[in-house]
Structure 1
Amino acid sequence: MKKIALHWKIIIGLVLGIVWALISSQLGWSQFTIDWIAPFGKIFINLLKLIAVPLVLFSIISGVANLGDPASLGRMGGKTLLAYLLTTVLAVGMGLTMVNLIKPGKLIDEQSRIDNRISYEIWAAEEGYVIKDGINYLQDPEFMDRAREISDLTKSDLQDASMNDKMKAADATKDAGPLQPLVDIVPDNFFSSLADNGLMLQVIFFGLFFGISMLFIDQKKVAPVTKAVDGIMEVFLKMVDFTMQAAPFFVFALLAGVVSQMAGNDIGKVVEIFKGLSWYSLTVFGGLALMIFVIYPLVFKIFVRKVSYFGFFRAMGPAQTLAFSTSSSAATLPVTMECVEDNLGVDKKVTSFVLPIGATVNMDGTCLYQAVAVVFLAQLHMIDLTLGQQLTIVLTATLASIGSAAVPSAGLVMLIIVLESVGLNPAWIGIIFPVDRILDMCRTVVNVTGDATVSSVIAKGEGLFNYNPNKAPDEAFDIEENS
């Protein structure tokens, strides 16, 4: 019997988890599911959180340090990094625009969102987080009664939780100046930053600072450090791989627990959850489609000009197809290089430098999806994120993309980082997990298309772009052979 691929096992696990949640909701077994199955989902989240911070740290250091001697990077290196940074910010901005216009999290019934909000406030109080929008539903007697119904906390516990949040909010805002967000990015104690999940931007800052400093040291002296960092990063990637091997079971437990906790014994709430999930998926698809079919061709039209709209997609078809099937920018890299060199006419001097960097630091699709996912989850829990908090999402998603490994499911780890950066519950990834795989395939196509676009723009600027519109893409290219 042919071995079932991991992603199909994960899909089977999540489907079974949803089916189990529906059955337990119908039969009144939700408490059993929460007590005996959901904890394994929490173990899965804890494993991902355990790996996420050191993986991001060492991936960022490795990615920056391996850019090479800063003197040798020259003009092309500066242009490349700037171009990738701009496309990433553009993608996150597109995601935030789409999710704020469509508001997919607000398209489910209000009572479900109120219950979600109450659960969020209870979680924030237990974990020591400040309520993001400064509103506390637990201070309203009407909602406190509902909170007692959906939790096992007493009235006095809930009152303590609401007052605790109020005190934390006051402490957080006291003596805060206009540049406090900038001050907060620079740690005074790096090890404290590692221990506090809410200080992820400080870890990213340290990783960038460390990696850039390595660039300015003689390569012979810094080689052992580079080798050690690369080796440690590979160990953490292997830990992700081991965790994902057990993901089918963990995903079953996670989905069963999350859906049961949100729905209780009311099966109608399950329907509402997936109604919101459908709108979320359409929002992400819409943003990714705009990046592929509008934004990148527009960049081509402005900066390259030589390639027609359909000519670009004919040239990149094999790479985009492989990206969709593998969900991996790294696995697609050889195909991307061949398409960009042979079909678009970009000189090998550019592709050999720009595309490997792109596979490491350019995660446009992933960043767009993270922006939509975080705001959607906030909307689902009646949390109104301010412009400043949404800009934090932009900054965290952009910087974390440098440390996002170009492999399937890496975006899931990065999403935990982004959620924690704005004080939201990382366990909420279970809500969007059912559609993550198909969205992962689509956002990898965006990543690869972005790599091709940037490399073509750089080549045009360097006079190394030799596109021949009469040359057809290599139809004999065997995608399967290179996958």
Structure 2
Amino acid sequence: MLHVSILIGLILGLGLGLTAAAVPEAHAMKDPLMALANGVAPLGVAFMNAINMVVVPLVMAVIFTGIAKLGDPRKLGRLGVMTLAFFWGTILPAILIGMGVMWIGLSFAPDMPVPPVEAREVPEIPGVVDFLVSLIPRNPFAAASSGALLPVIVFTALFAAAAGTLEEAARSRLVGFAEAVSDALIRLVYWILWTAPLGIIGLAAPATARLGWDFLVALAVLIVCVIVGLAVFFTVVYVPFLRIVGGIGPVHFLKSTFGGFAIAFSTTSTAAALPVMLEEADENLHLSPEIADLVIPLGASMYRAGSALFQGAAIIFLADLYHVPIPAAAVGGALLATFLVSLTVAPVPSSGVMTLAPALQTVGIPLEGLAILLSVDRIPDMFRSATNALGQVTTAVVMDRLATKDGATGDGPSTPPT
């Protein structure tokens, strides 16, 4: 399996790097080991070039497809509008919690002497007004060729929204073309990811040779912060909605959704958990089938608050790793980029890492950081996928209760809070 091969590549890269770092300077093997650790770096460079080649068109394709498929927002109906409002309204606190927890967690991470953005210039951060103006590209193709990813994504989102208002035949042709492009890019991503073990060796070995055990400690801090952040997010965002609006306590909710949670956790895919989530929504939570059958599949295709939280934490982690300062204006740009790419889900492994490039580019963080995240992504991916699944069912509970209060069909959650 892919994640197993990536893990093997990580172990080999870390082993080579740690061995080179542990050998005393005076030892005869020091220079050959350091030369070997640094000599595999071109593998990492080639892997990152391949990732960078595909990630921007992939993000554009999936954003266009996800937004355009919604159709005319005026025809979504009240339930659809409320569902989208809940999705997007909880993304921002997820990103902020991820950033905040990671910021606190950095105090437990070692201070590593990573050169501040080698061969990269930190972009000059404009004022608020200039930043907002810069989001509207004069020429989206020129913006794409110059590496200005955020304006390109804004253009893609607006273009997709406009396409959604076209007649069904015209909209279907555009969506079909975008889906075909997306499918081809996804296949290319899979081909690239099969080379990931070699790329991980080429990136992990030089970094570990230079930083030693501090690099591993920093990665462990990232993983712990993501898990803690997801727990905080569930507690302070989902639990109040479940109790106040849904009338369900967290213990009963977790028991009732354990099957879908477990499948999403083990497979790192909410799509795989979808049938079980729908069954549990009906049999355990007694939600209206009409509401659950709309909200949960829609959430599986375009709602990933857990992934947004991970991306917020990853931005702060990589900024600290590469010694890139993040002014307030840059945080706003990173928030917007992360929010936009979270509007849809690219159906590829570690999509939360793959779609992080626009946010990193906005604040001047080297895209090599994506490979660092990819090397340890399996554990965070399990927890954020489970959180994504819980969020999709939470949305269904909230929408069901709101519909019940309005006199719509549906029994609503019938079990008292626990």
Fold agreement, TM-score > 0.5: yes
Is 1:460 the counterpart of 2:401? The answer is yes
How far apart are residue 62 of structure 1 and its match?
A: 0.5
- Aligned equivalent of 1:85: 88
- Aligned equivalent of 1:347: 288
Deviations 1:177-220 (A, max 9, x none): 641111111111011122233x2221211111111111211102
TM-score, scaled relative to structure 1: 0.79
- Aligned equivalent of 1:204: 153
- Aligned equivalent of 1:75: 78
Tell me which of 237, 258, 261 is aligned to 1:295: 237
- Aligned equivalent of 1:449: 390
The structure whose Rg is larger is: 1
Alignment partners' CA distance in 2, 1:192 and 1:458: 42
- Aligned equivalent of 1:185: 135
- Aligned equivalent of 2:171: 222
1:301–1:83 Cα change, 3 Å: same
Alignment of 1:54-69 (within 5 A): 54-69=57-72
Letter in 1 for 2:19: I
TM-score, scaled relative to structure 2: 0.91
Alignment partners' CA distance in 1, 2:362 and 2:270: 25
Alignment of 1:14-413 (within 5 A): 14-25=10-21, 26=23, 27-28=29-30, 29-35=33-39, 37-104=40-107, 107-109=109-111, 112-113=112-113, 116=114, 119-124=115-120, 129-130=121-122, 169=124, 178-197=128-147, 199-260=148-209, 263=210, 269-305=211-247, 307-413=248-354
Alignment partners' CA distance in 2, 1:231 and 1:413: 19
Alignment partners' CA distance in 1, 2:283 and 2:169: 36
How far apart are residue 13 of structure 1 and its match?
A: 1.4
Is residue 326–residue 441 contact of structure 1 (8 Å, CA) maintained in 2?
yes
Is 1:12 the counterpart of 2:5? The answer is no
Alignment partners' CA distance in 1, 2:166 and 2:380: 41
- Aligned equivalent of 2:26: none
Deviations 1:124-179 (A, max 9, x none): 2xxxx336xxxxxxxxxxxxxxxxxxxxxxxxxxxxxxxxxxxxx5xx76xxx641
How far apart are residue 293 of structure 1 and its match?
A: 4.2
- Aligned equivalent of 1:475: none
How far apart are residue 434 of structure 1 and its match?
A: 4.0
How far apart are residue 328 of structure 1 and its match?
A: 1.2
How far apart are residue 396 of structure 1 and its match?
A: 1.0
Alignment partners' CA distance in 2, 1:45 and 1:338: 41
Is residue 193–residue 203 contact of structure 1 (8 Å, CA) maintained in 2?
yes
Is residue 304–residue 460 contact of structure 1 (8 Å, CA) maintained in 2?
yes
Query: Where does structure 1 lack aligned partners over 5 or more consecutive residues?
Result: 132-168, 264-268, 471-483
Query: Where does structure 2 lack aligned partners over 5 or more consecutive residues?
Result: 24-28, 405-409
Deviations 1:215-245 (A, max 9, x none): 2111023322221111111111111122122
1:377–1:352 Cα change, 3 Å: same
- How well do the aligned residues superpose, as a CA RMSD in angstroms? 2.0
Alignment partners' CA distance in 2, 1:393 and 1:465: 41
SS in 2 for 1:179: helix
- Aligned equivalent of 2:381: 440
1:406–1:430 Cα change, 3 Å: closer
How far apart are residue 295 of structure 1 and its match?
A: 2.8
What is the percentage of aligned positions where both structures have the same residue? 27
1:416–1:178 Cα change, 3 Å: closer
